[in-house]
Chain A
Amino acid sequence: QVQLQESGPGLVRPSETLSLTCTVSGASINTYYWSWIRQPPGMRLEWIGYINYSGNTNYNPSLKSRVTISLDTSKNQFSLNLSSVTAADTALYYCARGSFYMLMWGPGTLVTVSS
């Protein structure tokens, strides 16, 4: 059974880089597509982007200039980096298996951007 778990700092300072990792168990990161989605408080879900088993990525144009998603096959993990964060980036961040639709989600991790 595939399981995903997000990890990373719960507090990030404005203008810094938000970095999260998703650890995958029950499946190899070298198969499937893997995504990041976020949900700001009281707002709808927002797709951030995805990466495939070859390392090819596709990002939301609204975030593309600040986002990097990468794979670490040695640890069976994939990561999200979001640069130059502001309070608007405060959200519950989810990692998921899938690209166009998400078959399995992690429990999510709350990231707050504040000084």
Chain B
Amino acid sequence: EIVLTQSPGTLSLSPGERATLSCRASQSVSSSYLTWYQQSPGQAPRLLIFGASSRATGIPDRFRGSGSGTDFTLTISRLEPEDFVVYYCQQYGSSPITFGQGTRLEIK
């Protein structure tokens, strides 16, 4: 199975700054079948990005996904207070579907 490793584990930034979150796969993710979710405390995950770079319905354009092969990135261009939560990547290019361990974005 494909193992996804997210870095950093915790990212400390200030509102208004740019965040860059990494997701690295143990083998190539076919057709860039890579997804990003956002999870607020006590809430279910929320779909942000699918197909590595396509924003889900209602997701602001400050969220941008990029990458291919084994290296993927979620960039949040101007951090808002509500963005300081946990982010997960997930691949669906090969079975079984697997998730990264998460990156926590905290206010500096």
Contacts and interface: CB of A to CB of B under 8 A. Distances in A.
Contact of B98 (A47, A102, A107): A47
Interface string B19-52: 0000000000000010101000001111100100
Interface residues of A, number: 19
A46 B99 contact: yes
Contacts of A62: 96
B65 interface: no
Contacts of B96: 47, 60-62
B92 interface: yes
A108 B101 CA distance: 18
B13 interface: no
B97 A100 contact: yes
B44 A44 contact: no
A35 B35 CA distance: 16
A103 B101 contact: no
A58 B95 contact: yes
A44 B47 contact: no
A103 B100 CA distance: 18
The interface residues of chain B, by DSSP majority, are classed as loop
Given A60-B96, A101-B35, A45 B90 contact: yes
Given A44-B102, A58-B95, A101 B44 contact: no
B47 A102 contact: yes
B88 interface: yes
Interface string A85-115: 0000000001010001111111110000000
Given A101-B47, A106-B44, A44 B92 contact: no
A106 B44 CA distance: 7
Of listed A44, A46, A61, A106, residue having the most chain B CB within 10 A: A44
Nearest to B33: A100
B33 A45 contact: no
B107 interface: no
B99 A108 contact: no
Interface of A: 44-47, 58, 60-62, 94, 96, 100-108
